């Protein structure tokens, strides 16, 4: 099961005259994040597992609304447990610590019980 979190912060704010980008860095774990802490008690009871691991983090670089921005993504290679940064045709291995230093735009999380069941098949 995959959970997609779109713009945890509102990355683009409409001002009276222009659109500006919110560059706040948000510290987040990349493993064992329990989304259950964000759910109400009745909703939490309906879900057996609410712990997720990050598998991708999309970042927007550049100015909003100008068409001059680019996207890059940090992706976990599950076979090697290594993280890679991808932008256009460029792929570079990165340390996991670098992921949390980016301005997240979209995050993709995988539920731990789903990950364990698919790797045991």
For residue range 78-94, list pLDDT tens digits in order: 999 999 999 989 999 99
**For residue 71, what are the β-bridge partners?**
60
Residue 26: what pLDDT? 72
Break the chain down into helix, strand, coil percent, rounded to 5. 20, 40, 40
Is the pTM value of this prediction over 0.85?
A: no
Residue 95: what pLDDT? 95
52, 3 Cβ separation under 8 angstroms: yes
**Which residues of the chain, if any, have pLDDT below 70?**
1, 6-15, 18-24, 63-67, 114-121
Residue 117: what pLDDT? 59
Single out the residue of 22, 55, 50, 24 nearest to residue 37, CA to CA.
50
């Amino acid at each position: 099961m995959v959970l997609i979190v779109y713009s945890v912060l509102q990355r683009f704010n409409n001002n009276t005259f222009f659109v500006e980008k919110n560059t706040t860095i948000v510290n987040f774990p990349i493993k064992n994040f329990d989304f259950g802490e964000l759910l109400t008690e009745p909703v939490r009871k309906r879900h057996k597992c609410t712990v997720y691991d990050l598998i991708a983090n999309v970042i927007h670089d550049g100015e909003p609304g100008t068409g001059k921005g680019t996207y890059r993504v940090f992706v976990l290679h599950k076979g090697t447990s290594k993280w890679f940064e991808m932008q256009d045709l460029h792929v570079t291995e990165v340390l996991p610590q670098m992921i949390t230093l980016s301005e997240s735009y979209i995050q993709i999380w995988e539920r731990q019980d789903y990950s364990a069941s698919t790797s045991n098949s």
